[in-house]
Chains A and B, each alone.
Chain A
C-alpha cells in the first residue's frame, strides 16, 4: 500500500483549540478531554496537538521534533543538523507506554539555532534557512521526518485516537498559552505517523477538518515558490499557503483569510469602492491561493490563533469565550465539557476569520 505522500487520502476530522489572551499558561489536559468528546469524528488513524508557549526556557531556539524510522536515519539526520545548526539541547520526547499506541518510531527533540557562518553563507533570512533545512530533511533523508520546527511551540502527533495520543505524549505535563488538537478520520491510511495532524512549518501550525476541492491547484501554485508538498494533504498545503502569505508576502492573518476564503465577486460588487479595490486586488494577485471545498481550520501562529471556515461554511465550527479564554471546536459539546459556563458561543459565518491574539501582542 502506498504511504502517505505517495497517494492522496481524503479525511473527515474533528478539531478543537483554546487560547488564553492574557498569556496565562494552562496544561494540555483540557484539550485531551475536549477532543475525546468528539471521538466519533475520528477513527483511530491519526491525532495530534500543537502547543504554543511550552518551551519558555528555550524560546529563542527552534524546537525541532523528529520521527526516525531507524538509528541509521537518525545518525544521518543528526549529521546534517550538526552541519547546519548549533544544537544546544537534544533528547527523546518523553512518552508513556500505553496499549492504544503502537509501532512508535524514534521520537526526538532538538533545540537549535542556525550556525552563523552557514546562515551568512546561505544569504537567507534565519526563518527561510530553517524552513529550507526542514524541507531538506523531509525530502532527502530517508526515514527522517521533521514534524515541528517553531520557536517556543511544539507539535505532538501519532497514529491513534487523539485522546490516546495526548496521554502517550504526556500532554498534561506541558503548559502553554494556546493549544490546538486534531482527530483524523481518513478513508484509508497506511498509518504513518508523519501523516497525522497538525501540520506545522516554523511557528505556523494548521489543524483542518475538510477536503478541499482546490487541492491540486493550490499545490501546484505553491510548489512554484520552493515548497514541496510531500504529504499530499490539505493541511500541508494550507500551512504552506499561510507561511507564504504571512512570512514571505507580509499579509496579516485577516488578509490571508480574505485570500484563501475570498468573498464572492458578487459580494465584492456590493462593497464600497475602497473595499472593492482591496478585495479585487487580493483576489487577482492571489487567485491560485483561493481554497474551495469544505474546510474549517485553526491556524496557530506565534502569539495567536485564527479560526476560519470555507466561504460556504461546509464544515461545522463554533467559537466560545469565557473571560480571557477563547475556545474553538468542531462541536459546541467539545467546549462545554471543559468549560460549561461560557460567556458566549457563536458560529462564525463562512469566510469570516476569527483571529485571537495575546493581549500583550506576541509573547
Chain B
C-alpha cells in the first residue's frame, strides 16, 4: 500500500567504473540487497533492504561500494523529524512495538565527553610508564577492614573471595543465543589471554567453554536459563542480573527460531521454544529477597565465589546500590542507559534510565557517605568507548568497567543496530551457520586482545601523566577530573570542579 511506503534511510552507492561484477557483495549480504543481472551484466542493489552494516563495503575488493545517507526528505519540521514520522507510519501499518538493538543512539549529553583529565606540571613529576612500573591490577570483592593475626602476630588473609584482574576491564554479559558460539569463544579466549573476565550472559555456559572458568563470570537472570550447580561452580564469580541499562524494567525475549541445537541444550529449554526472561525475578520483589538469592548462590558454591549484582542505572540508583551493598553482594554493576542490547523496545531503550557517569558518581558518593564503599566493588557499564572513558570512570569511583559494544566492535560489529533481525552479516548476533562462520575466533580473540592491550597502554600513559603509578590511587580521585560546559548541578552530581577552578 502506498501509504506504507517509507523511503530507505540509506542508499547503496556503486561506482560502476570500479565494479567488476565479482558478486562478493551479493554472496555476503544476508539481507539480499545486491543482485547480479545477467542480461545486463550488471550488479544492482535494493536500498530498501540495506541495514548499513558495511559488510559489502568492507569486502568489496575494488572499493566500488559505499553507503550514503539518503537525501530524500519530508518537509522540514523541527518537531516532527523524519525518523519520528517513519516510526509512526511503521506502527500505523503493523500495530506493533518498535524494536531496536545496541545502545541508545539519541543525542543525549555524553558526560564523559565533558570531563577532562589532569596531568602533572612542575610540582609533582609525571611518571614514564616505559621506565617505571605502572600498576593496572585491580582486585574486586568486598574488603572488610578487619585485621586478624595469628598467634605470632602475623596478619592473616581473612578476605572473602576476590577477583584479580590484570586491568580494570571486563567483557560484559552477552548471552550465548544473543551472540554466536564463535563470539563467545573469542571473548573467552581473549579473557584468558588477558587475565581478565568475560561474562556468560543469561544463556548458560556451553560445555566447550567450561575450560575458561577462571576467566568467566556466570550470570543468573530472571529466566534462570542454563543454571545448575555445575554452572554456578564453573566460573570465577556469579552475577545476578536484576536489570540492563538498555531496557530497565523489562525482561528479555529470545525467539524460538534462535533456540536451536546447542543453544537449546545450554539453556536447558526445548528447541524452538521462546526464551522469555521475566521483567523481575519472580522470587525477588524486594531487597530482602535479593539477599536471600545472594546467599543461596553463595551457599551453593560453598562461599568460594564472589557474587555480583547488576542493575540498570535508574533514578534512585544510589539508594538501590546501597541496599545491594548491604545485602551481601561483593560487587555491584551499574549499567547506564547507553548500554547495548540484542533487542529492546525502542522506547524503553531510548527513554528509560540515566547516564552511567551520573549514576556512578552518585552511587560512589552514597556508598562513601554511608561508610560502606569498602564492602562492595563498583563496576561501571553502559557505553565505555575508550581508555579515556575508563580513566574517567575510575576517577569518578568505579573499580572496573564492563565493555560490551566496544568488544563487539572489535569483533567486526559495525553498529547497524539490527541484531534483533538475527541476520548479522558479521557473524556475531546470529545463529545462522553460514553467518556465524564469518567470525573466526582465531581472528576475533586476537583483535580483542589487541584492543585491551592498546587501552592498557593508554591508561598507563594517562596515569603516568597524572603522576599516579597504581590504579588504586586513581579510584575515586575526582580531583583529577574537571568538567567543561557543565552546569553547577551537573558538576555537583559528578562531584567534580569546572575546568579553570
Is there a direct interface between A and B, measured as CB atoms under 8 Å apart in the complex? yes
| A61 interface residue (CB < 8 Å to B) | no
Contact with B along A177-220 (1 / 0, CB 8 A): 00000000001000000000000000000000011111111101
Per the 8 Å Cβ criterion, residues 250-265 of A in contact with B are: 250-251, 255, 262, 264-265
> Assuming A278-B154, A293-B124, what are 9 further A-B pairs, CB within 8 angstroms?
A214-B468, A215-B479, A216-B479, A216-B480, A221-B368, A225-B371, A266-B133, A288-B374, A292-B469
User: Residue A249 contacts which of B125, B145, B371 (CB distance < 8 angstroms)?
Assistant: B145
Indicate if the CB atoms of A224 and B476 lie closer than 8 Å: no
B474 within 8 A of A: yes
Determine whether B143 belongs to the interface, using a CB cutoff of 8 Å to chain A.
yes
B147 touches A250 (CB 8 A): yes
Q: Would you call A280 and B157 a contact (CB within 8 A)?
A: yes
Q: Which of B123, B133, B158 contacts A10 (CB 8 A)?
A: B123
User: Interface on chain B toward A: helix, strand, loop, or mixed SS?
Assistant: loop
| Docked CA distance A214–B147 (Å) | 24
Indicate which residue in B125, B466, B470, B473 contacts A218 across the interface (CB closer than 8 Å).
Answer: B473
The residue in chain A whose Cβ has the minimal distance to the Cβ of B148 is A281
Chain B residue contacts of A217, Cβ below 8 A = 472-477
Q: What does the 1/0 interface line of A265-308 toward B look like (CB < 8 Å)?
A: 11000000010011011111111101111100000000000000
The A-contacting residues of B in range 146-186, CB under 8 angstroms, are 147, 154-159, 162
Q: Is A312 an interface residue (CB 8 A)?
A: yes
Known: A10-B124, A211-B123, A213-B468. A224 touches B374 (CB 8 A): yes
Closest to B159 in A: A284
Smallest CB separation, A250 vs chain B (Å): 6
A264 engages B135 (CB within 8 Å):
yes
A118 at the A/B interface (Cβ < 8 Å)? Answer: no
Give B73 Cβ to nearest chain A Cβ, in Å: 50
B118 nearest in chain A by CB position:
A213
B147 touches A210 (CB 8 A): no
A293 contacts which chain B residues (CB < 8 A)? 124, 467-468, 473
Flag whether A223 is at the interface (Cβ < 8 A).
yes
Q: Which residues of B contact A290 (CB under 8 A)?
A: 470, 472-473
Task: Output the least CB separation between A217 and chain B (Å).
Answer: 4
Interface residue A8 (Cβ < 8 Å from any Cβ of B): yes
For the A-B complex, the count of residue pairs with Cβ-Cβ distances under 8 Å equals 110
The answer to whether B477 touches A215 (Cβ under 8 A) is yes
Taking A220-B368, A224-B371 as contacts, is the C-beta distance between A282 and B155 under 8 angstroms? yes
* B120 interfacial contact with A, CB 8 Å: yes
Is the CB of A143 closer than 8 A to any CB of chain B?
A: no
Given contacts A217-B477, A249-B145, A286-B145, contact A278 B155 (CB under 8 A): yes
Q: Are A187 and B123 in contact (CB under 8 A)?
A: yes
Would you call B468 and A281 a contact (CB within 8 A)? Answer: no
Is A12 in the interface zone, CB < 8 Å from B?
yes
Q: In the bound complex, how far is the Cα of B466 from the Cα of A215, in angstroms?
A: 12
Given A213-B468, A249-B147, A265-B135, answer yes or no on A294-B124 (Cβ-Cβ < 8 Å). Answer: yes
Q: Report the bound CA distance from A278 to B374 in whole Å.
A: 19
Nearest opposing residue in chain A for B143, CB measure: A285
Interface size of A by Cβ–Cβ distance < 8 Å?
Answer: 47
List the B side residues contacting A338 at CB < 8 Å: none
Q: Is the CB of B132 within 8 A of A312?
A: yes
With both beta carbons as reference points, the residue of chain B lying nearest to A8 in the complex is identified as B479
**Distance to closest chain A CB from B501 (angstroms):** 9
In the complex, chain B residues whose CB is within 8 Å of the CB of A312: 127, 132, 469
Shortest A240–chain B CB gap in Å is 14
Q: Is A314 an interface residue (CB 8 A)?
A: yes
Chain A residues with CB under 8 Å of B155's CB are 255, 278, 281-282
Task: Tell me which residues across on chain A come within 8 A of B478, comparing CB atoms.
Answer: 216, 220
- CB-defined contacts of A284 to chain B, threshold 8 Å: 139, 143, 159, 162
Q: Is the CB of B373 within 8 A of A221?
A: yes
> Which residues of the partner chain B approach A224 to less than 8 Å between Cβ atoms?
368, 371, 373-374
B144, B154, B155, B473 pick with most chain A CB within 10 angstroms: B473
Contact B476 A213 (CB under 8 A): no
| A163–B477 CA distance with the chains assembled, in angstroms | 36
Name the residue on B nearest A281 (C-beta).
Answer: B157
Chain A proximity of B460: nearest CB distance (Å): 13
Bound CA–CA A8/B118 (angstroms): 14
Smallest CB–CB gap between A64 and chain B, Å?
A: 27
When C-beta atoms are compared, the residue in chain A nearest to B121 turns out to be A10
| Interface pair B147/A292, CB less than 8 Å apart | no
Bound form: Cα–Cα A266–B373 in Å: 27
Chain A nearest CB from B478 CB (Å) reads: 5
Chain B residue numbers with a CB within 8 Å of A314 are 125
Chain A minimum-CB-distance residue to B367: A224
Rounded to whole angstroms, the CA-CA distance of A287 and B145 in the bound complex is: 11
- The answer to whether B480 and A12 touch across the interface, beta carbons within 8 angstroms, is no
B residues less than 8 Å from A225 (CB atoms): 371
B123 x A12 contact (CB < 8 A): yes
A217 to B159 Cα, complex, angstroms: 22
The residues of A that contact B472 with a CB separation of less than 8 Å are: 217, 283, 287-288, 290
The CA-CA distance from A224 to B325 in the complex, in Å, is 15
- 6 pairs of A and B residues whose beta carbons are closest in the complex: A214-B473, A216-B479, A213-B467, A211-B124, A217-B477, A10-B123
Q: Chain B contacts of A264 at CB under 8 A?
A: 133, 135
Q: Report yes or no: B473 in contact with A281, Cβ–Cβ below 8 A.
A: no
Contacts of B371 in A (CB 8 A): 224-225
